[in-house]
């Protein structure tokens, strides 16, 4: 599939500033469906899984400004990861702003998801603001681009089936 401008529907990563990472992806579905998939626990558990073989046994979402969220994953080898945060802005179907914390030494980020409707779908841009350039580099070095790409590929498949 291609976006209205002929651009392939791939996930791209860019650095709009020294502390930000932007993830962009086009989906052949209206913004309301993309927003629902990004915020509904039943949908999140089907696509936001990172590498193949991972599951999400915990997916708690209190979708309101000030509401908390928590996700936990389990890998095929039993490895467990979790993250949590608080929604700062919930503006369906075009915008979502939330904090994200992985725990341990990882500093909290501020994430902004913008869903821009286009003639034949939605362009999603998720901008992650880190506390420093070093924190951004450390996060990106974990393989997050591969995991996010696989997850967004799953989301694209599911949205195509629902659109």
Q: Whose structure tokens read 């993830």? A: 23
Query: Could you tell me the pTM of the whole model?
Result: 0.91
Question: Hey, is 138 helix, strand or coil?
Answer: helix
Q: CA–CA separation, 53 vs 27, rounded Å?
A: 23
pLDDT for res 9: 66
Reported as type and span, the H/E element at residue 35 is helix 31-39
60-85: b (≥16 Cβ within 10 Å) or e? ebeeeeeeebebebbeeeeeeeebbb
pLDDT for res 4: 46
Contact 146, 11 (CB under 8 A): no
What is the rounded radius of gyration, in angstroms, for the C-alpha atoms of the chain?
15
**Cis before 35 (ω within 30):** no
Residue by residue, pLDDT tens for the chain (163 residues) are: 444 444 446 899 999 999 999 999 999 999 999 999 999 999 999 999 988 899 999 999 999 999 999 999 999 999 999 999 999 999 999 999 999 999 888 899 999 999 999 989 999 999 999 999 999 999 988 888 888 999 999 999 999 988 6
Report the candidate in 79, 83, 87, 55 with the shortest Cα–Cα distance to residue 71: 83
């Amino acid at each position: 599939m291609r976006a209205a401008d002929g651009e392939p529907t791939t996930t791209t990563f860019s650095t709009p500033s020294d502390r930000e990472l932007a993830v962009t992806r086009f989906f052949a579905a209206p913004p309301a469906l993309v927003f629902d998939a990004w915020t509904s626990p039943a949908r999140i558990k089907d696509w936001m899984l990172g590498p193949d073989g991972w599951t999400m046994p915990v997916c708690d979402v209190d979708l309101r400004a000030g509401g908390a969220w928590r996700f936990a994953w389990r890998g095929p080898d039993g490895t467990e990861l979790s993250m949590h945060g608080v929604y700062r802005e919930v503006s369906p179907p075009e915008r979502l702003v939330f904090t994200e914390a992985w725990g341990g030494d990882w500093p909290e980020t501020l994430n902004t998801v913008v869903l821009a409707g286009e003639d034949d779908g939605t362009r999603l841009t998720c901008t992650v603001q880190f506390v420093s350039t070093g924190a951004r580099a450390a996060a990106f070095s974990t393989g997050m681009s591969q995991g996010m790409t696989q997850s967004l590929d799953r989301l694209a498949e599911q949205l195509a089936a629902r659109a």
